[in-house]
Amino acid sequence: MKVNKIMALKLMLALAVAVGFTSCSKKGSGGSAATGWKINDKKGGFQYNSKFKKQQAAPGLVEVEGGTYTMGRVQDDVMHDWNNTPTQQHVQSFFMDETEVTNMMYMEYLDWLKRVFPPTEENYKNIYVGALPDTLVWRSALGYNETMTNNYLRHPAYGTYPVVGVNWIQAVEFAKWRTDRVNEGVLEKEGYLKKDAKLVDVTAESTFNTEAYLESPSKSYGGNEEIVLKGPRNKLANKEDAKGVYAQRTSGLILPEYRLPTEAEWEYAAVALVGNREYNVYKGNKKYPWKGQYTRNSKRQNRGDQLANFKQGKGDYGGIAGWSDDNADITSPAKSYPPNDFGLYDMAGNVAEWVADVYRPIVDDEANDFNYYRGNVYMKNKIGDDGRAELVTAETIEYDTLSNGRIQYRNLPGQIAQTQVTDEDTYLRQNYTKSDNRNYRDGDRQSTRYYNYGGTEEEAAAADAKKRMYESPKHLVSKDSLGNMIRKYDTSSKRTTLINDNVRVYKGGSWRDRAYWLDPAQRRYFPQDMATDYIGFRCAMSKVGPKSKKKKARN
């Protein structure tokens, strides 16, 4: 009898505890694990997109799952450049343009610049002109190419062809512009910006910039409250008339920036070893982005067709009439050839492509083997007298005069002015010690054979000017008192290299190149302020969140 009473008492106690836990869990549902406060309260407070699933591919992009691979492994090295030392690298997952940026895509950029910053106005005349591709790259002293010079960029017949004549700096600026236009469209769709403001309300003094919006939404569109501040729809709280709630990083709506891919990312995406895998091991190597060791298609229905657009031999850019090898003589339209295993088109041939990296002969895997990139110049927002980030205006636009005399804008009205980080910002940091890291361990004072470990700062400064590791030519451009441009070509016979901090890597073979350059691991470099008729580009975007969508099947 006593046993039954004890058992009944234990059962009642267990039920009471269970009910208590259940009530607590219901009471705490939807609340903060830190404070217990309600998140996304309609009355205000902390707003957070707790329903965020995963980053969706932005316009034009496909997902590339990250992984490890051997960077720089080439099967042929007839050039003996000694700049392809194999290194084991790992890249995080990212997104990359399915195709190269086309003439139509770049024309949209030019159209926007011309409408928003009319070149007829004195303050803006160099913005549009500075973004124009150099169409004269098609000219040849012993060739008739005026048709491409006059038509390639603008004629609809070439609309889906990759843009060329774009230097590295112009490609970077296009990526920045694309970031703002895509995020502007996202915020309009989600109800945070006035509908169609991007078309009917945009002016030189009233534009949208992603970073400026995140820093202070009231500064977007020149502070026009009708566009930004008048009751944006707060979808997180599901309330149409919510005010004072804006999209931020925590909303999960703002996409990361479009940018040029790093060399490691580009090569990894091009070789696409994901289709040559068994469990966690790669089954051999690939010479090209496609399977096999040859450039021709082995499938029965297309046997013998070339798998990329390249130069087959001297004077052979497209084969014999009626039986074209690659159906092209210059560039070819996007998606003319099968994609690789990541779904990327023309990762070999058609046009070579700019990547983000500053060129050095050696990839320093001893310093880093994760998301390798040489070219970091760390910046921070410029703070004004009011203690807030300072915006660029029509009067404070900065321009650079390139070595060839072209004028290139450095920033646009509505963007946040930038300045390099200082010694105070890097004090006692272990991961970086200065703003400009392009020469880190290869070109800086410590890496040169002239470095004097016991020397003074004054001696070091003098040595830096005279005994640089990479003594490349210096072509100077200046203006006289009348504003006339003076170009000074470096005629020194003592220069020993063409490498400096302003030469960038480009990857992939082009319509002008032999099959040798189609190997994704091959690398070349070119001045960042110069353009050619065979170098184009595509954009990339970092992925936030998990490495992959789901666990892969073992096959």
CATH number for the domain harbouring residue 300 = 3.90.1580.10
520 is a domain residue? yes
* pLDDT tens string 447-465: 888 777 777 666 666 666 6
Residue-wise pLDDT tens digits, 22-71: 444 444 346 888 999 988 887 878 878 878 888 989 999 999 999 999 99
Neighbours of 397 (CB within 10 A): 18
> For residue 342, what are the CA distances in angstroms to 40, 65, 91, 108, 345?
38, 9, 15, 27, 9
Q: Write down the pLDDT at residue 337.
A: 94
> Looking at residues 409-418, what average pLDDT do you find?
95
- Supply 403's token pair: 């070595």
Q: How many CA atoms lie within 13 A of 235 on its CB side?
A: 17
pLDDT tens digits, residue range 264-275? 999 999 999 987
Average pLDDT taken over every residue of the chain: 88
In a domain, 294, yes or no: yes
**What does the pLDDT read at residue 232?**
46
Residue 383 in any domain: the answer is no
Q: What sections of 373-503 are H helices per DSSP? A: 423-426, 457-466
Phi, psi at 302, each rounded to 5°: -130, 25
Instruction: Report which of 243, 262, 272 is spatially closest to residue 348, judged by C-alpha positions.
Output: 272
What pLDDT score was predicted for residue 432? 94
Within a domain: residue 381? no
> pTM for the whole thing?
0.91
Q: How does strand 94-97 pair with strand 277-278?
A: unpaired
Tell me whether residue 314 is in a domain. yes
| Distance in angstroms (rounded) separating the CA atoms of residues 512 and 164 | 13
Residue 111 lies in a domain: yes
Inside any domain, residue 19: no
Where in the sequence is the domain holding 277, given as residue range(s)? 54-365+503-554
Q: Is 382 within the bounds of a domain?
A: no
Mean pLDDT of 292-320: 84
pLDDT confidence of residue 495 = 85
- Give the count of domains, the chain: 1
